[in-house]
Structure 1
Amino acid sequence: MNNILSRRSIRRYLSRTVAETDIQELLQAAMAAPSAENGQPWHFIVIDDRQLLDSIPRIHPYSHMLREAPVAILVCGETNQEPSKEFWVQDCSAATENILLAAHAKGLGSVWLGIYPLEDRVIAFKEKFSLPDKIIPLALLPIGYPAEEKAPANRYAAARVHKNTW
């Protein structure tokens, strides 16, 4: 519970390399996510090219922290993945959250940068990363060692909980 409740969005990073083994473990955590009918429609692009990371803020207005992050993971979904292609967003969102939680557990920071369903962002990322037609970018996750500390946020709201009916 502590890992879940203390995870925060980190937007500032130290200039310190993230080990390949750590990235591999984040991807293992992602692929351990539940998926509808075990369809596993996810695909991931690990981005560690400095020029590429520095260019992304031109296509995503809230991604300026990529100029500090040593690596990012682009989470994509395969929209024609059977048996349950209608659930790719939920499946890839679960994988995304697993990456965020695993990063936090490893002492790394990250933030969820939304791409889908904003058409301009989807098109821009598809072009920049040469994604096939059936692959849709969902989210971009900068990963790095935090250069900021944030206290846990208590977001529990009893007024949002209903029992048996509204």
Structure 2
Amino acid sequence: MDLFEAIHTRRSIRAFTDAPVSETDMDAILRAAMAAPSAGNEQPWHFVAITDREVLDAIPSVHPYAAMVKTAPLAIVVAAEHALEKYPGNWVLDCSAAVENLMLAARGLGIGSVWCGLYPQADRMEGMATLLGLPEGVSAHALVVLGHPSPDFKRVDRFKPERIHRNRW
């Protein structure tokens, strides 16, 4: 798929078929996530790929807006290991870039995704850390729910030229 087609047709998908996401596709998605830029090339990220139905079904008790995970075959939690940071605080930006790469790669493979934020909500971050057994010094950043989309992808033009400023506001 063309890069710009993937960018312009990526949408938050909350309804999935019961088809699993293949290991090959999951590997490609995670490789794309790890190709994201990071401050000082620190790459502080870790990824928890969740396919266990019991764990997936427990996620809405931690994240009140993640009910769609109950019909999804896969969720990936993006987390940061703070000991890997060269520039403290940039883990949020680094993980965000990884999430975007992850979601665009999924779209390129015809897999739907939705980003359910964990950071900066301490209760969600801590709840996910407990649910997944994250070690001390690792912060949960985002939950991305993935699966083959039930609705089809469609292109929506979100371009707003009035929000572009040149040289100064």
Question: Smaller-chain TM-score range?
Answer: over 0.9
Deviations 1:11-34 (A, max 9, x none): 000001111111011010000001
Q: Which amino acid aligns with 1:40?
A: Q
- Paired residue for 2:19? 16
- Paired residue for 1:31? 34
Mapped to 1, the partners of 2:95 and 2:85 lie a distance apart of 14
Q: Show structure 2 runs of 5+ residues with no match.
A: none
Does the residue aligned with 1:75 lie in a helix, a strand or coil? Answer: strand
CA gap of 1:151–1:82, structure 2 versus 1, over 3 A, is closer
Q: Which amino acid aligns with 1:85?
A: P
Deviations 1:106-163 (A, max 9, x none): 0100000000000110111111111122111111111110001242221111111111
- Paired residue for 2:162? 159
Identity, % of aligned positions = 46
Q: TM-score, normalised by structure 2?
A: 0.95
Deviation at 1:76, TM superposition (A): 0.5
Please tell me whether the aligned partners of residues 41 and 85 of structure 1 are also in contact (alpha carbons under 8 angstroms): no
- Paired residue for 2:99? 96
- Give the total of aligned pairs: 166
Deviation at 1:79, TM superposition (A): 2.2
After superposing the two structures, state which structure 1 stretch, 132-141 or 41-50, moved more.
Answer: 132-141
Q: Show structure 1 runs of 5+ residues with no match.
A: none
Do residues 79 (structure 1) and 77 (structure 2) align?
A: no
Q: How does 1:1-166 map to 2 (within 5 A)?
A: 1-166=4-169
RMSD: 1.0
Deviation at 1:83, TM superposition (A): 1.8
Does the residue aligned with 1:51 lie in a helix, a strand or coil? Answer: helix
Runs (4 or more) in structure 1 with deviation over 3 Å come to none
